[in-house]
Each structure stands twice: as structure tokens, then as C-alpha cells.
Structure 1
Amino acid sequence: MPKFTRPAVAGAAMASAASLLVLSTLPADAQSAGAPANKHVLLISVDGMHQSDLDWYVATHPGSTLAKLSRGGSEYTNAQASNPSDSDPGGTALMTGGNPKSTGVYYDVEYSHKTDEPGSACTPGKPATGGDVVYDSPDDALANVNDFINPSNGTFPSFDENGSIYAKGVDKNPAAIMNLKNDASSLNASTFPVDPATCKNITPWDYLGTNSIFQVIHNAGRRTAWSDKHAVYLSFNGPGSNGQSIDDFFGPEIDSQAVMPNGVPYPQDDDWAHIDAATKQYDGYKVQAVLNELGGRDHSGKAQVGTPAVLGMNFQAVSVAQKSRSTSTTLIGPDAQGNYTTSAPQPGGYQWVNGKLVPGPALSSAFDYVDAQLGKMSAEIHKDGLADSTTVIVTAKHGQSPMNPNELVTVQDGPIVSAINAAWAQKHPDNKSLIVAGTDDDLWQSYLSDTSQAACDFVKNYLWNHTAQGYDVNKKPVTVQHSGLTQIWAGSDAAGFFGVPVNNGHYPDVFGKVQEGVVYSKPTKLAEHGGMNTGDRNVLMVVNGPGVPAQVQSNPVETTQVAPTILSALGLDPASLQAVRTEGTQVLPGIGGAHR
């Protein structure tokens, strides 16, 4: 379908609203003709948020910040996240303009035939033996802090990753996290994959196969900032940066134990990503970082450094509410004694109401929270006189699937992997573990010890002919055909799917698309992300600001187009990004023209 442009009067009316974020992205040809570029870009990822969520929220909350953003700017209703749609390839796409074929990032927990296993014996120059590539919270320098409530329950990583704020990682004042300084000391390098050529561990930023917007902007002498959920997203610094192209990175660990403002752990005794009231508190620290940076200070609010050319954050509250069967949504307190508690749990995910699928109570609350925080950012932009020089882009690293709870089927992938390995071992007694790695959320990824086409086809055929047992949304047993998959790519077909050479070594040897609703997990979740169904990939995309037309674009776009759009908005060359040149990634249509 063609685009349509809203009447100019509608844009003018919205521009008069006091809380409207005034933003702008100028075409490259306009910039080259001498038109002023914007000085700042604020990028927001509302992880998990679909275009259909935006449609619902705008319709039911016409006075919201999200409504003003979308109605007064350019809205892209057919935006697709990366494939796979996991957080890391999704975030990396936003920052580089590239898909896994260029970035080499297929998942946050993956494997590569071109590296050696962390900690393994290594002789420089010998062929790679293959190894795990895990850039996730286990990489924190302080990844094993005892449960504050009951040490016998196990450990969490530290909120500040490196123990620089909390003695031995014991968090008694969560607000002190604003003093966190993330750099290489936040990470345990011994957990990184090993480069067989040098036998040295590969840092997250050097594993990335292409440069990032932060490198281009930093190298242009302009300040950069970003806030995210793991310290390992220092990877966005890009290769060869020595982790220095993001001037102000703030990444408090979301997998750490959730602690209420008074230093008492949440009574649910879990991490920040499994209690939505806690997730909102957690997101609030990143919001404060952004507000401080918009005000010209560093993320802590202590040093006056100037407003970054690019800054932003990801929200987690929506994603958590989408996946949780039931969760507390509100932190209550403090009372007269300074104590806090949480509201009663509410249903997560989506519900059928009068024949329509709509967000349930927990998810509705999460959308309200995000909208309120966007309102705070809007107010800060106007307060600081940035409205005429700032572009804001609101999108999502990934969606979430399934949206319809009646489609949910949870299947444990472990028994399937074990059965495949056992069947292979019967024919190949010298190799009892054919599948050596893989992460299956709502997709299938297998890395094999034998990468021959015959071995890849063996796994594909087993998966296709296997009947798996699972559970529906009511936790009743169900049976799924084809291991829960609808399409499988193996060996050379998998390489072709990603557009890389067969000997690339980074892509999954066997890659599968799940049947709508299938999630590989215990029956504790309502949804997941990582796959390629509509719920996984059809995310919101809104750009708003001076010079940006009030329009709706229904033609397909991708989240990779955010990166060149950011550079174009700042008057920098989108073609400075290697992935833009390799993949031909375009600036978002209607606001920035073709890349130069």
C-alpha cells in the first residue's frame, strides 16, 4: 500500500501541544545544500512493543505522549525488527544498520566455529576448535552474589557488575547505581570466546563485525551516550574502539537481585526482569540517566559535560509484562516507617475482551509507565531549549510472540536435543554429541560438532519427523508435529537464509521457524522473542520533529534503517557505516532520502 500524508493542519495542531516532542530529520540533499542538521538524536527502544500496541494505545489514550509523537511525526506501520529478533541482534541492528550477515551477531548466547572455547588450551595460529560466544550477564566481573534473602537459593550477578559501588555486590542502596561507571572492568574477560590466531579473549566490541553509529559520531568529535540492561552492550562501541566510542555508557545489570528503594529485596525474591514493579523501578534509573544527559550532565547528574549528539535507552517493563503470567505492577510506599510493598499480582500478556485481543492489566500498566516517562523526556527537552534541534526515534529491538494466549504451546527443547544426539550416536559412536550449542526461545538454533551437509540434514530430518510434547496456556498437555517447527534451514540452506558463505562459521548450522505460538521453555511464560513470526518482528517505528512530515508510511521498513537515519539527522554521512554500504541500508523514507 502507498503511504498517506496527514493534513498539514493536523501536524500544526499537534505541534502546538505543550508536551509534544519536537524533532527533526533532514534529507541528505537538504543538508548538503546548507540546511542545518540537528544537534541531537534521542533513540528509545520499547522492547517488546508491537505496531498493534501503538495503534491500541493511541486509540485509547489520544492525549498521550505516544499519540502526540505518532500523529505529529512520521509513523512506519510495517517496521520489521532483525531476524533473529533477539535483544542483541536487535539492538546491534539499530546501532550499525546491519543484519547478522554483516555484524556476525546472531544471538546474545551463540556459538562460533571460528573461535575457541573460553578457557580452553590454545596454540596461536592453529585452526579454531569452536566455542561458545556468550555476551550476557554471566560475563559480569561480579556474576555470583549470594541471594540476599536466602543464600541457599543461589546467586545473582551484581547490580553494578564490577563491585565498584556495593561492597561484595551487596546492594543496600539501589539509587547509588547512578554512580555506576561501565567500562572493561565491568566484565570478566575470561568468559569471552578466544581468538585462535592470538589465543586472546575477544571483547564484545571487537567481536562485532562492523562499525557502529557511536564510532562515527564519536570520531566526528561529538559526544555519545547509551543506557541498556547489560554491561556487555558495551559491544555497541564497535570494533577497534577499545570500548571508548560511547562516552557515557550506563548499564545496570537487569539480572541482579531486585531491591526496593530502602535496600530491602523484593518479597518475590527474584531479579529485576521478573517482577514488573521492579522492572519499572529499574527502568527509572535509566530514565533518570537520560534526563540528566538531556540537561547537559553525565548520566549520574554530577558532571556538566554537554548534551550528547546521540543518547537513549531501552525500556524493559513492556517486555516483562508481555511474558509474565502474573506479576505485581506497582511498588507501594514508603509508609511511615520507610517500608515498601508491592501490589497484588495481575495477569500479564494479552486478553480477549468483547472479541478483541487487547493488553491485559499488567501490560496496560507497563504502557502507561513508558508513556509517562516519554512525557518526562519531552518536558526536559523543552525545558532545556532542545526542541528545535533534537530528533527522537521510538522503536523496539524486538517484539514478542505469541500475542494470542490461546496459541501458546510451551515445549522443552532439552529432551529433543538429547534425543537427536542419542540417535546420531547410534550411527556414529565416535561422536555422541552432534548438537553442541544452541539457544531456542521461539525459534530453533543448533550448532553442530559435524558441520557436513549430511549431519545438518540429519538434524533437520529428525526435527521434522519428531512429535513433541508440550503444554497449552492452561498447562494442559498437547502434542505438536515437526518438533513445533514450520520451516527448517540446514547447512548450505541456513547459510543462504542469512546471506553468508557456507564457511562463515558464525551462523546456526540448523535454523528453524516455529509454528505460531510455540515457545521452547517450561510452562511459565506467556511469550518470548527471538523468532520470525509477526509478533516477534512487527514493531513500532515513530520519528517526530521539526522538518519531519506528519505521515503514515505503510511500505516495509527495517530497524536497521534507524542507524543511517540517525547519522543523516546529525549531518553525518550514513555511508560511514560499513553495514550500510554492504547491505544498502537506506535512511527511513519520507524524512531522509537515500543515503549518500
Structure 2
Amino acid sequence: MKTLSLALAAGTLTAALAGALSDSSAIAAPYKHVLLISVDGLHALDLANYVAANPKSSFAALAHTGIFYPNALTSAPSDSFPGFVAQVTGGTPKSTGVFYDDSYDRTYFAPASDCKGEAGAEVAFAENIDVDSKRLDAGGKPGDFRSQIDPAKLPMTLVNGKCSVVYPHDFVRVNNVFEIVKAHGGHTAWSDKHPAYEWLNGPSGKGVDDLYALEQDSLIPGTKVKTTGSFKAERDFDEARVKAVINEIRGLDSTGAHPAAVPTLFGMNFQAVSVGQKLPKAGPGDEAGLVGGYLDASGAPGNGLAGQLAYVDGALGELMVALKDNHLASSTLIILASKHGQSPIDPATFQPLDDDPYTKTPGYAFHIADDAALIWLKPQDRVKNLAAAQDYLEKSSKAEGIAQIQTPNALALAYQDPATDSRTPDFIATVNPGVVYTSGSKIAEHGGANANDRNVALLISSPSLKSASVPALVQTTQVAPTILRALGYNANELQSVKLEGTQALPATPF
């Protein structure tokens, strides 16, 4: 079976930038701005291949004045929420308590329950909490998350005996870089795929001055198809948010309607590549004959994915030009990363399976499965069901493509003890490379712990940096302390950095 290795990613980029690698030059002063870009789904291999094939591209330009980390790993689980939480807090689910964008808390209650009944509830922070998820604006005003999120759809919890709704920012247990920047008097902004990214406000509730959130799962106008069902629609979705970031670079708010300080920390995620990896074929507005995913184990993209990569490259060029035109290029550190990878790269390994058998686990309360499965048991009777649940999962391993079952004692070592922690799953089932839990509407997924899920692109760039490739194994949690160091702040102001001992990225000159 062909699989992507970390060494392959490292070797490919080295070849792509042969002769250009050297030690980084020193920077005299901290940066005034950090522009954080997450290209969701982008593997280290994708970046290496693109630079090699397109030496005059925006990706290549960033690499030629940047430090590349070919052996960077995102979080495990590799879902969007923990993947991005890692980048901005410096923490894993061990300290953040965030395992997935759709998870479970043993102490929460269902939306609109008034905290009645038994404790234990699904916690889904995606399109499901929108006022109207069929609309691009989520039924509210972009930039005003409270107009986009329906509190009646939020989970509930008891706080000092009072039943209260749980906003996304209440969910993350630790602070983040946006809050630190705000505490030092800086201006902050971010744009992402759901209003649920309001969690970036952090426990203080005040982390992001300008949150420009559109709804990725909205319907394409005139159709009943979601934005994720079209290569073009997803590019248009990203481009609307690129314009918001350019407005911010120009000294306006995200909407372009009002003057605002250029953010100290700002950025956005791109969804085009992720959709290009997952979408099997052309949708509304697409050219006929487009196909998503990869052609082989080397990461050669299908024509649909190739178009998405080219779009993101062009959009990065737009952002770079805007920085230069507004005299911000030399004072801005660009960090290009990814919340998650996507599995599989090799189409020959693709194995679509049904995740319904997980619902039959003894003592079952909830599970989430993309290309791994996180399983929670009902807290009221979990102890008596643990052995039977483990036995059931072991017997289901072959049918469900399970490579390894992480049991409660193993999860207690990696994260927190599920017997005492309200968030840690009772079991996590990792899968054989290529297994995807799907009804057939997608050809790749993320969330698991295989190399294709976790080995993501990570590059820091500014005009004052010399090109370098650092082969050391690094984690995307190291992005957070690197951001603070670049801005001249103490990384230990981040709670997860102190709790988990997270270090800044190596070989940085600041």
C-alpha cells in the first residue's frame, strides 16, 4: 500500500527549492502585524509540488523569503476546530478541551432544555447554530456574530445553579493569541467559514474586533446545492472573504464601510482546496468534466483540485500586493498553515464505509466519524458498559476499517481521563489509511490521525527572511507562541503554552 511519508514531503520541497536554502537572517525589531492564513486541507506535499511546478507562483514567492517546515503535524484529532484551536492557543485537546466541531460534553444539556433531564449533550458548533444556514450571511449581518447565531440552538449548562446557553467562546477552556493582542492594545480581525468561529473571542469574549464570518454550508443561489457542492461556488466563497481582508489591509473594517486600524493580528482560512480534495465531480457553475481529489500517490491533483490550488495561489498574490501597496509588506509576518490535511491522497486506497455501526456500541451516547471515530458513552452508566463497548469495537474492527482502538486509559495519558473530564471521548478508533466514513458524496475526509490527515503545510514568510527548510518534526501548536514572539509579546501569556510547554517554531530569527 502506498502512503505519504514525512520524508517524501521534506525531499520534494528540498528539490523544489534546491540551492535556495540557507540560514535565516536576523530581524532587528518585532513585526507590527501578523497575517495568519490557513489553507484548509493543504498538505506539505501539496505546497512542495506546487512550488516545484510553478516557480513564479505566489506560493513560490512566499517560500523564497520564508522558512518551510515540511514535517509539520496538525492536531490529533485533525478536525478544523482542534486544528485551528492549536494554532491560536498553543494547545492540544488536553488543555483546550476541544476535540471536534461536533462533539459531546457530559455536563451539558440539549438546546432549549432549560437544563432539565439527564446531563450529557452533543455540542455542535457549525452551521447548525446559524439563524438561517441556507443564507450566505447565516441570517444576520457579517461582522455581528450575535445577529448570526441563534441562542435557542446552543447547548446549555448550569453556572452557579443558573441554566445558561453556551456560546462557542465559552467552550474553549484556555485563552488565545487574539485575546493577548487585544490585552496589549492591538486591533484584531479574522474571517472563517461559520459564525461559530466566534469561539476565537476566547473565554474573555473579547478576542476579535472584526469577525467576518460567512456560512459555507449556505445554498448556491437558485439551487438546492450547498456551496461545498461546487468548485466555483467555493472559490467565490473564499474570494468574498479575501476582499474583506484586503479592506482591513487598506485601513477599513472587513465590510469596507468604515475606517479602522490595520489589525495587529488578522487573517482568514481558505476552503477551496479542502473542497477540491473532497468533491468527486463538477457541480453548479462548474465546467463539465472537472474531478476532485488526486490522481496518484505522488499528489498529482485532478483538474478540479488543480483549479482550486491555482485560485488560492492567485488570492495569496492579491493579499501580498495589497500589503505592498499599503507599505505593510516589510512590517508583516505571513504565516501560512493548515487546520488539517485530507485523506487519502492515493485514490487506490480509498475505502468508503458506513459509520452507523458505531451507534450500536453498548452504552452509546454520541459519536462523530469522518476518517476516525470518537465515541462517548452515556455518563450515567458508562462504567458498567465500558468492557462491553470495548469488546464490541474490537469485534467491529475489520468491518469498520479500524486500525487501532484508543481505550480510556490510553486517552487519559494523551488527553484527560474520561472518567473525570467532561469532554474526553471514551474511545477513539483510528482507521486504516484510505478509510472514509461517507454515504458516497465525498472522496476524502479529515479528522483522523494518519499522515495524510496530519502532515500539513507550514511556512512563515517576510521580505527580510532568507529561504530555509527546517526538517525538524514540529507541531502546529507552535504557531501560537511564534505569533506572540513575532509581535514582541511573552508567549507564556498563553495558558496552553504554560500547561503543555509549547515552544515557538525553531530557526525563527525573533
TM-score by length of 1: 0.79
Q: What amino acid sits opposite 1:378 in the alignment?
A: M
Equivalent position to 1:541, from 446, 458, 479: 458
The corresponding residue for 1:229 is 193
Specify the alignment match of 1:273 in structure 2: 228
Structure 2 gaps of 5+ residues are 1-6
Aligned match of 1:360: 302
Matches within 5 A, 1:166-565: 180-197=142-159, 198-241=162-205, 244-259=206-221, 265=222, 269-328=224-283, 341-352=285-296, 356-414=298-356, 416-420=357-361, 424=362, 434-450=363-379, 452-453=382-383, 455-466=385-396, 481=398, 483-500=400-417, 502-565=419-482
Pick closer, same or farther for the CA change 1:527–1:8 going to 2, 3 Å: closer
Give per-residue Cα distances to partners, 1:394-418, cap 9 Å, x unaligned.
010000001111111111111x134
Taking the aligned partners of 1:84 and 1:518, their CA distance within structure 2 comes to 15
SS in 2 for 1:571: coil
2: CA distance, partners of 1:509 / 1:25: 47
RMSD, matched Cα: 2.5
1:568–1:592 CA contact under 8 A, matched in 2 = no
**AA matched with 1:200:** S
Number of the residue aligned with 1:47: 40
Aligned residues of 1:37 and 1:571 also touching (Cα < 8 A): yes
Pairwise CA distance, 1:523 = 2.1
Q: Is 2:61 aligned against 1:61?
A: no
| Per-residue deviation, 1:357 | 4.2
1:255 and 1:24 map into 2 onto residues whose CA distance is 43
The one-letter code matched in structure 1 to 2:358 is: V
Deviations 1:328-385 (A, max 9, x none): 5xx9xxxxxxxxx542141110003xx8441111111111000001111111111011
The answer as to whether partners of 1:48 and 1:322 remain within 8 angstroms in 2 is yes
In the alignment, the residues of structure 1 paired with residue 354 and residue 474 of structure 2 have an alpha-carbon distance, to the nearest angstrom, of: 34
1:449 is matched by which residue type in structure 2?
A: K
Partner of 1:111: 104
**Structure 1 residue 547: Cα displacement:** 4.4
Q: Residues 229 and 252 of structure 1 are in contact (CA less than 8 Å); yes or no, is this contact kept in structure 2?
A: yes
Contact 1:453 1:490 in 2 (8 A): no
1:297–1:418 CA distance, 2 compared to 1 (3 A) = closer
What amino acid is the match of 1:400?
Q
- Amino acid in the other structure paired with 2:388: F
Identity, % of aligned positions: 36
How far residue 129 of structure 1 moved from its aligned partner, in angstroms, is 1.1
Secondary structure in 2 matching 1:399: coil
Counterpart-to-counterpart distance in 1, 2:131 and 2:483: 32
Equivalent residue, structure 2, for 1:478: none
Q: Is the 8 A contact 1:11 1:72 kept in 2?
A: no
Distance (whole Å) between structure 1 residues aligned to residue 29 and residue 250 of structure 2? 22
Equivalent position SS for 2:334: strand
- Please tell me whether the aligned partners of residues 453 and 491 of structure 1 are also in contact (alpha carbons under 8 angstroms): no
- Code of the aligned partner of 2:369: D
User: For residue 273 of structure 1, what is the amino acid of its counterpart?
Assistant: T
Does the 8 Å contact 1:25/1:565 carry over to 2? no
Q: 1:8 to 1:323 in 2, by over 3 A?
A: closer
Letter in 2 for 1:486: A
- After TM superposition, give the deviation of residue 11 of structure 1 in Å: 7.4
The C-alpha deviation readout for 1:446-501, integer Å capped at 9, x for no partner, is: 1111564552332222122126xxxxxxxxxxxxx152101001223222232456
Partner of 1:131: 121
Q: Deviations over 1:483-525 (max 9, x none)?
A: 2101001223222232456411201111111111111111221
1:120 to partner: Cα distance? 2.2
- 2:446 partner SS: coil
Q: Normalised by the size of structure 2, how large is the TM-score?
A: 0.92
User: What is the DSSP-based 3-state SS (H/G/I as helix, E as strand, rest coil) of the residue aligned with 1:387?
Assistant: coil
Aligned to 1:84: 77
Change (3 A) 1:460 1:560: same
Give the secondary structure class of the aligned counterpart of 1:346: coil
In the alignment, what sits opposite 2:497? 580
Answer yes or no: is the 8 Å Cα contact 1:399–1:536 preserved in 2.
Answer: yes
Gaps of 5+ in 1: 13-22, 27-34, 144-155, 165-179, 260-264, 332-340, 425-433, 468-480
Query: Aligned pair in 2 of structure 1 residues 293, 121: CA closer, same or farther (>3 Å)?
Result: closer
Q: Deviations over 1:49-100 (max 9, x none)?
A: 0001011101110111101211321000000011111111111111111111
- 1:121 CA displacement: 4.2
Which residue type is aligned with residue 255 of structure 2? S
Partner of 2:420: helix, strand, or coil? Answer: helix
Q: Kindly indicate whether the alpha-carbon contact (under 8 Å) linking 1:487 and 1:512 is maintained by their aligned counterparts in 2.
A: yes
Match of 2:333, SS state, is strand
